[in-house]
């Protein structure tokens, strides 16, 4: 099961233009994301997926300079961009990451990948899609900015063929989980704080949601605004510019410095069907 992370990145965010190349403790945000993703042990590789637009040449140039695999595709049809990138790199399992998540956690990526890979081996039933946040009646219990979505290439290809709504093409994965209702909790814990809720959709996809207890879904660690960027710069500064800290360490930091969470407490997430054209599609309110 060749498992590849595809990191979508482009320059066209309207709330914080060019954010994926803004510096965090001396490195562009995209570099911070890529290097953290590379620490995940269950990945066979990664690819940055940007657009063919002239404005995204700096993203492609950074990838060339750093030796990062890069695919360039459609600006608005991000689902097609993902599908074509996955085909090019021969992915069997696809992990979706966005480039505005500079504290994405490699251990959490591994947990999400393991959920899907284990189901494919054990056939209980096999999962088409798994995530750590989903719209109601599901939930988000991990901080915004730790978002990981995993799907099989077979499921991605079906979505690519069948999805016909603009928001389904822009946000990549909705076709796989829309209309799903939770059914059972799998009888095991991923960690002592995590459980899995499974469900199925009217389209016949089997999906899973990773839940955390306690619920940290109100915390915001993505970068969409100057306030978000300041928070993340402060976090990296507290860790001396390193990128090997985990999300639980950030929680400990916030416990000791609760004022950090107030830096971006007033920022509202975007809604899916009227989201601005940016690469932060994972972080919408559904």
Say if residue 273's pLDDT is above 50.
Answer: no
pLDDT, tens only, 238-251? 999 999 999 999 99
Residue 172 has what pLDDT? 97
Average pLDDT over residues 206-234: 96
Banded model confidence at residue 277, pLDDT cuts 50, 70, 90: very low
Say if residue 276's pLDDT is above 60.
Answer: no
CA distance 253 to 41: 25
How far is Cα of residue 157 from the mean position of the Cα atoms in its chain?
19
Average pLDDT, the chain: 91
Residue 13 has what pLDDT? 83
Please, what are the domains in the chain? 3-283 (3.90.550.10)
Percent of the chain surpassing pLDDT 70: 91
For residue 196, give the nearest of 124, 247, 250 by alpha carbon: 124
Instruction: Report residue 4: phi and psi, to 5°.
Output: -125, 130
Residue 275 has what pLDDT? 43
Average pLDDT over residues 25-45: 98
Tell if the pTM clears 0.85, that is, is over it.
Answer: yes
Residue 146 has what pLDDT? 98
Average pLDDT over residues 223-233: 97
Banded model confidence at residue 184, pLDDT cuts 50, 70, 90: low
Banded model confidence at residue 181, pLDDT cuts 50, 70, 90: confident
Percent of the chain surpassing pLDDT 90: 82
Instruction: Report residue 3: phi and psi, to 5°.
Output: -110, 120
Banded model confidence at residue 185, pLDDT cuts 50, 70, 90: low
CA distance 24 to 161: 38
Q: Which residue has the higher pLDDT, 74 or 125?
A: 74
Average pLDDT over residues 201-210: 96
Residue 177 has what pLDDT? 97
Average pLDDT over residues 47-63: 98
pLDDT, tens only, 128-178? 999 999 998 899 999 999 999 999 999 999 999 999 999 999 999 999 999
Would you list the DSSP string of the chain? --EEEEEE--S--SSSTTGGGSEETTEEHHHHHHHHHTT-TT-SEEEEEEESSGGGHHHHHHHHHHT--EEEE-SS-HHHHHHHHHHHHT-SEEEEEETT-TT--HHHHHHHHHHHHHHHHHTSSPPSEEESB--TTS-B-SPBT---EEEEHHHHHHHHHH--SHHHHHSSSHHHHTT-EEEEE-SS-SSTTEEEEEEE-TT--EEEEEEESS--TT-B-S-SSHHHHHHHHHHHHHTTT-S---HHHHHHHHHH-GGGGGGGTTPPPPBGGG--SSS-GGG-B-
pLDDT, tens only, 74-99? 999 999 999 999 999 999 999 999 99
């Amino acid at each position: 099961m060749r498992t590849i992370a595809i990191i979508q990145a482009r320059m066209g965010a309207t709330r914080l233009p060019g954010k994926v190349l803004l510096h965090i403790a001396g490195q562009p945000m995209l570099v911070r994301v890529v290097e953290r993703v590379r620490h995940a042990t269950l990945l066979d590789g990664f690819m940055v997926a940007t657009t063919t637009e002239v404005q995204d040449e700096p993203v492609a140039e950074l990838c060339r300079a750093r030796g990062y695999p890069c695919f360039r595709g459609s600006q608005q049809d991000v689902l097609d961009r993902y599908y074509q990138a996955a085909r090019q790199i021969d992915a069997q399992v696809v992990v979706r990451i966005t480039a505005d998540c500079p504290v994405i956690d490699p251990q959490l990526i591994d947990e999400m990948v393991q959920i899907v890979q284990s189901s494919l081996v054990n056939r209980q039933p096999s999962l088409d899609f798994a995530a750590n946040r989903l719209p109601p009646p599901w939930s988000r219990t991990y901080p915004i900015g730790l978002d990981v979505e995993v799907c099989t290439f077979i499921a991605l290809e079906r979505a690519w063929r069948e999805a016909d709504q603009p928001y389904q093409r822009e946000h990549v994965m909705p076709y796989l989980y829309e209309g799903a209702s939770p059914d059972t909790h799998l009888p095991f814990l991923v960690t002592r704080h995590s459980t899995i809720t499974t469900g199925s959709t009217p389209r016949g996809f089997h999906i899973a949601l990773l839940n955390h207890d306690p619920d940290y879904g109100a915390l915001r660690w993505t970068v969409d605004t100057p306030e978000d960027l300041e928070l993340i710069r402060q976090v990296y500064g507290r860790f001396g510019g390193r990128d090997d800290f985990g999300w639980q360490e950030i929680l400990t930091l916030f416990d000791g410095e609760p004022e950090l969470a107030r830096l971006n407490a007033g920022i509202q997430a975007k809604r899916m069907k009227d989201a601005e054209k940016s690469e932060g599609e994972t972080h919408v309110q559904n």
